[in-house]
Chains A and B, each alone.
Chain A
């Protein structure tokens, strides 16, 4: 069995205690559900001396709605999000499509938001990566995807994030400088080695969605080989509003491409218009043109790009159907 090298586990019961531990202990990491971090530790990708578990913090989970704004505790399980009627349908759907049932019971929304980028050359055992000669993201100097030493293009692979970005979500956190919040569109950077623009010692505490507009519609489209367990080969989150058949807002975000989720441009072309066949085709084409899948994930990049057009079309059709 793949074993982990020794570390010490801490079970803080408050956010403050957790953050204090994280600041004081060198080589420490937070762990929530563990579904991604533990495999990565088993693969030797992280070698922490301390793991600060978030499993025993009271009030770290839960969904509340105040004046239409939806606040989801970072420790809320993906399963709870998937089955919640308080969250937008697109977010519930995205959460329901993460991995398998047990992963969703364990994994948290905060963990999904903070998910490490993934790559065929990275999410492998120490022995495998030694045979490869390592990679830019871990212990090496060369990216095997783009054949360069300049940057890492490991793919953003969190299913819930495209929808959250489309919904204009923000995250609340506690960092070394104290509490803060940031719009999720500012959260990610285009560098797979360090994809989140927050100090490492920051603890995400909540995901906050602004009040939903009248006529809200949202959905998530996921491409994967099997109907369960698999990470996305492509993910598209859509959110907006359709009132009396006319689009009043529309936002779309694609993922499983590069380290940063891609906010698709040109979606406002639909605003003030109905999502008819021609408009859907136009937006699908816009999506296709902006999407460039890499060989960091399995599946032919050309086919995955083709799928961006298909899935965008199908996602928009879902929005139309939901608005009726």
Chain B
């Protein structure tokens, strides 16, 4: 029942029609239109919905709206002082504590409640107060800083650009605030589920309860007859298969004849509300013929195993579950193994993990009166989604517009098309009304595309000086039900390993198996995080055998500028030696390694990662990234770019580049991104490509405009162009620095002198990579380098590992914004540490995921996460804009082996399986004692 009641919200009495069974969160978001409070986990596990009730932080998703009657509700929209954001909101902005921003409304409310009672909180007090608010982006470190800054009070307003720019620049290298941060801190920013269109219906997808079954028939008649149901669809309506990699299109929008994991989509409905849609999908009858689940990847590869796919996308019968195999060899591996002074060999296992962005996937479809389709989607690849929608829906690309609203975290989990995006389009067409589908948290787990579980038969050898002479790796990847990016993953597991540690010779075989589980795909550090675990822990074993210090052996093997890996990948710059120096000094390594009391230890590890893939997913000679820049007489510059800002700050990066080039202040630069009707193509937020590629395109566009602006000023002043200087907000005469022209007037001059203020830039990759089949995969314009030192203590009685710190030094080429780079490093370190210690994707033997929710899948809370220390190393790579390389993925890799190596230093056990749960660690300690 619905009842008209008055709720006091943010000091205002709101008369609202309250459905009794709605939570406070539902009423705030969908009745009161206060969408600042977010929904992340469905049921009180994440804290994104936190609001204040009579001044106390509560979970609005587990509070009945009716229970708030007569009490004071305060939301993120209600803590500002009039139009001035509250100090805590500003502090989150200034410190870079907001990335995707989705968890922050809840986080800020918890912080505000803390500050009401404690005006000088310590770090442990902040960690405790925020321990019910999960953040997946930041690693919490900058959040602690924000709360302490707010406690001190902020002088208002804060300049957009603070900190000191790098020498020779005016904006680059500073600590400019993100363009989108204050909108996120105040709850104003619209994410996909915040969009409510007139007449909008709500869709739901019926999912398979079986891991492997043939669909005999689907009866949707009962659902269709239901009151409030406006459209029903089944898989046969979209017979064209798709796949993000055009060579392996093995998926359908909804299953047609077979389901391949528990959660595979079978049918979809659109109804007047979500409750009706839920009842409608429950009324659909599917007749299944049950087939044997295929869960173990090794068993899946054996002859006679049940086939997950009976035929491929061309209709050719398949004989096995092998979906991709790569075998490559470089140098004389056998000879090197024979003559080795030290050798380590064994089997390592990397368990699967998932992205767990706090925002669940959400899409809305609307057909415009002129027959065009608009899809708003929480995607990190709007361009690929645009292409696949056209293909599967059989609608010309000219008739489809894809818009990515603000995105609440992705990490690779939203980097390909998903069923909901096709379903909203079809359902909206059938119903003649807009349709929204929002995944439940459980559905996010089924959509998955997370890190592949991998098993390694791994051997490494070194000579007496510690030079690594051979690496051999036989890898089995558990791919799950579909290809996803699997073709690339299968290569990356081998191709991206040699570097920044030099290999004398290398051989690998990599095989990806189909199994009847949710499909694996690209998670932050795609394909290459897993093999770092055997490599970097085995290097420590080599060091032990040779009596070398773990950092010293890495120095011996560390690549230098201009060096090529044995697989033919050339790193024009490689700062790994500087990174090792940095973490050695910062961590106090020399005083700690091997010298800490029993139960406490330090460990080191390194990594290298691509800054974009050299070759696009579909072959073409067009630029990988384009930027259009236009200005107007108001003094505003607008950047149009197809880039997907997923919280990492790519919009801000573009503005920084254009501000640096043109002198137009960041506050007067607007970025329009990821709207296929408005923006030129960029391939999307994956493989750490945007800063290097779109940054270069923006630099070209900005540089062209700057040239015209300088020429216009030079002509006006009748001086040579070399005599015109550019600084934020104005152009000046380098001979008479007091002679200035405000940038707005410079734009007028320029438009008068040379016409419309419009420029463009593009990024093309040059040919790179090895000259062999597969040698282009892993090829990148530039490679980052990272080193970590982790410090842990291990409770020898329980096996519990406590992380005390990770010092991470990362070579990002050039930091375009120090705060954003640090944020990427800290967030990566956090995510790696969380994988190392707690996260695990486990399935029952019938293929049922063991806990697809944020209570059973445990990502670290603030209380489990220490202050992380990020150090930026700059090598100025010729490939990137101003020398910039990636920062968002490389810094994750070393966390896992660094923690494993620290555990060894603490208690003398070598772990070859993940995660490092107390059970596993204790068993290793006990086995060691038994052996002694």
**Residues of A near any B CB (own CB < 8 A):** 1-9, 11, 31, 33-35, 38-39, 42-43, 51, 53, 55-56, 79, 99-103, 105-106, 120, 123-125, 127-128, 130-132, 225-231, 298-300, 303, 306-307, 310
Asked if residues B262 and A131 are in contact (CB atoms below 8 Å), the reply is: yes
Provide the B33-61 mask, 1 if CB < 8 A to any CB of A, else 0: 00000010011110100100000111101
Asked if residues A229 and B45 are in contact (CB atoms below 8 Å), the reply is: yes
List of 3 A-B pairs having minimum Cβ-Cβ separation, nearest first: A100-B132, A228-B131, A227-B863
Asked if residues B44 and A39 are in contact (CB atoms below 8 Å), the reply is: yes
Asked if residues A55 and B67 are in contact (CB atoms below 8 Å), the reply is: yes
Q: Can you name 18 A-B pairs with beta carbons within 8 Å?
A: A1-B61, A1-B438, A2-B42, A2-B43, A6-B275, A33-B62, A34-B64, A53-B66, A56-B70, A101-B129, A103-B44, A106-B62, A131-B210, A228-B862, A228-B863, A229-B855, A230-B858, A303-B919
Asked if residues A38 and B43 are in contact (CB atoms below 8 Å), the reply is: yes
**Residues of B near any A CB (own CB < 8 A):** 1, 19-23, 26, 39, 42-45, 47, 50, 56-59, 61-64, 66-67, 69-70, 110, 128-133, 207, 209-210, 262, 274-275, 278, 438, 440-442, 797-799, 838, 844, 846, 848-853, 855-856, 858, 860-864, 917-919, 922
CA–CA, A123 and B851, complex, Å: 9
CA–CA, A225 and B128, complex, Å: 16
Asked if residues B440 and A299 are in contact (CB atoms below 8 Å), the reply is: no
Asked if residues B57 and A102 are in contact (CB atoms below 8 Å), the reply is: yes
CA–CA, A42 and B441, complex, Å: 12
Asked if residues A101 and B918 are in contact (CB atoms below 8 Å), the reply is: no
Main secondary structure of the interface of B (DSSP, over half): loop
Min distance, Cβ A32 to any Cβ of chain B, angstroms: 10
Asked if residues B59 and A229 are in contact (CB atoms below 8 Å), the reply is: no
Asked if residues A300 and B919 are in contact (CB atoms below 8 Å), the reply is: yes
Asked if residues B207 and A101 are in contact (CB atoms below 8 Å), the reply is: no
Min distance, Cβ B172 to any Cβ of chain A, angstroms: 39
Asked if residues B21 and A7 are in contact (CB atoms below 8 Å), the reply is: yes
One of B20, B58, B70 near A106 (C-beta < 8 A)? B58
Asked if residues A2 and B20 are in contact (CB atoms below 8 Å), the reply is: no
CA–CA, A95 and B133, complex, Å: 19
Q: Which residues of B contact A99 (CB under 8 A)?
A: 132
Asked if residues A3 and B59 are in contact (CB atoms below 8 Å), the reply is: no
Asked if residues A298 and B851 are in contact (CB atoms below 8 Å), the reply is: yes
Asked if residues A105 and B58 are in contact (CB atoms below 8 Å), the reply is: yes
Q: Which residue of chain B lies nearest to A231 when distances are taken between CB atoms in the complex?
A: B855
Q: A1-B438, A11-B66, A310-B797 are in contact. Are A225 and B858 (CB under 8 A)?
A: yes
CA–CA, A225 and B108, complex, Å: 25
One of B50, B66, B838 near A225 (C-beta < 8 A)? B838
20 additional A-B pairs beyond A1-B39, A102-B57, beta carbons within 8 Å, are A3-B21, A3-B275, A4-B21, A4-B22, A5-B21, A5-B275, A6-B19, A38-B44, A38-B61, A38-B63, A51-B20, A56-B70, A106-B63, A120-B856, A131-B209, A225-B858, A227-B864, A298-B856, A303-B918, A310-B798
Q: Which residues of B contact A306 (CB under 8 A)?
A: 922
Main secondary structure of the interface of A (DSSP, over half): loop
Q: A131-B262, A226-B838, A306-B922 are in contact. Are A9 and B851 (CB under 8 A)?
A: no
Min distance, Cβ B135 to any Cβ of chain A, angstroms: 13
Q: Which residue of chain A lies nearest to B799 when distances are taken between CB atoms in the complex?
A: A303
Min distance, Cβ B917 to any Cβ of chain A, angstroms: 8
Asked if residues A132 and B864 are in contact (CB atoms below 8 Å), the reply is: no
Asked if residues A1 and B131 are in contact (CB atoms below 8 Å), the reply is: no
Asked if residues B42 and A6 are in contact (CB atoms below 8 Å), the reply is: no
Asked if residues A102 and B110 are in contact (CB atoms below 8 Å), the reply is: yes
Q: Which residues of A contact B209 (CB under 8 A)?
A: 127, 130-131
Min distance, Cβ B650 to any Cβ of chain A, angstroms: 28
Asked if residues B43 and A42 are in contact (CB atoms below 8 Å), the reply is: yes
One of A4, A42, A128, A303 near B922 (C-beta < 8 A)? A303
Q: Which residues of A contact B850 (CB under 8 A)?
A: 120, 298
CA–CA, A108 and B681, complex, Å: 54
Q: Which residue of chain B lies nearest to A40 when distances are taken between CB atoms in the complex?
A: B43
Asked if residues B438 and A101 are in contact (CB atoms below 8 Å), the reply is: no
Asked if residues A101 and B838 are in contact (CB atoms below 8 Å), the reply is: no
CA–CA, A231 and B853, complex, Å: 14
CA–CA, A33 and B62, complex, Å: 8
Q: Which residues of A contact B66 (CB under 8 A)?
A: 9, 11, 53
Asked if residues A35 and B838 are in contact (CB atoms below 8 Å), the reply is: no
CA–CA, A282 and B856, complex, Å: 35
The interface centre, meaning the residue of B44, B58, B918, B922 with most chain A CB atoms within 10 A of its CB, is: B44
The interface centre, meaning the residue of A42, A43, A101 with most chain B CB atoms within 10 A of its CB, is: A101
CA–CA, A227 and B134, complex, Å: 12
Q: Which residue of chain B lies nearest to A2 when distances are taken between CB atoms in the complex?
A: B42
Asked if residues A226 and B62 are in contact (CB atoms below 8 Å), the reply is: no
CA–CA, A236 and B447, complex, Å: 39
Asked if residues A35 and B44 are in contact (CB atoms below 8 Å), the reply is: yes
Min distance, Cβ B302 to any Cβ of chain A, angstroms: 26
Asked if residues A7 and B70 are in contact (CB atoms below 8 Å), the reply is: no
Min distance, Cβ A63 to any Cβ of chain B, angstroms: 17
CA–CA, A125 and B70, complex, Å: 32
Asked if residues B58 and A226 are in contact (CB atoms below 8 Å), the reply is: no
Asked if residues A125 and B57 are in contact (CB atoms below 8 Å), the reply is: no
Min distance, Cβ B28 to any Cβ of chain A, angstroms: 13
CA–CA, A127 and B282, complex, Å: 9
Q: Which residues of B contact A56 (CB under 8 A)?
A: 67, 69-70
Min distance, Cβ A165 to any Cβ of chain B, angstroms: 24
Q: Which residues of B contact A229 (CB under 8 A)?
A: 45, 131-132, 855, 861
Asked if residues A31 and B64 are in contact (CB atoms below 8 Å), the reply is: yes
Min distance, Cβ A47 to any Cβ of chain B, angstroms: 11
Min distance, Cβ B915 to any Cβ of chain A, angstroms: 10
Min distance, Cβ B723 to any Cβ of chain A, angstroms: 61
CA–CA, A306 and B61, complex, Å: 37
